Amino acid sequence: MPLHNTNSLLKYVVPGILVLLIVAGLFSCSSDNTARKTAIKTHDSTIKNSASGDSAAESLDTLTADLRNTQQQVTQITRQSALLT
C-alpha cells in the first residue's frame, strides 16, 4: 500500500501521543520527590488536638468562659467608642 493512501491524521496523532507519554513519564519521576518533601513538611507541623479528651461539661465551661471574655471585650470597646464620639 503506498504511503500517500494512509490516514493523514495519523502523522499528527502519533507524535502528539508520544509527547504526552514523555511528559507523563517525566512528571511521574519528579512526583516522588515532591511527595517526600510534602510528607516531611506535614510531619513537622502536626497539630495536637487537646480538646479530644474533654468531657461535655469541660467543653461547656470553656465555651462559657470564652463567651464571658468576649462580652467583656465588646463592653470595653463600646465604652471606648462612646468616649471617642
Spatial CB neighbours of 54, under 8 Å, sequence gap ≥ 6? 62
pTM of the model: 0.38
Say yes or no to pLDDT of 2 above 60: no
Q: What is the mean pLDDT of residues 36-48?
A: 55
CA atoms within 13 A on the CB side of 13: 4
Q: What is the mean pLDDT of residues 9-21?
A: 86
What is the chain's mean pLDDT, rounded? 78
Look up residue 84 and give its three cell numbers: 471617642
| Distance (Å, whole) CA 21 – CA 19 | 5
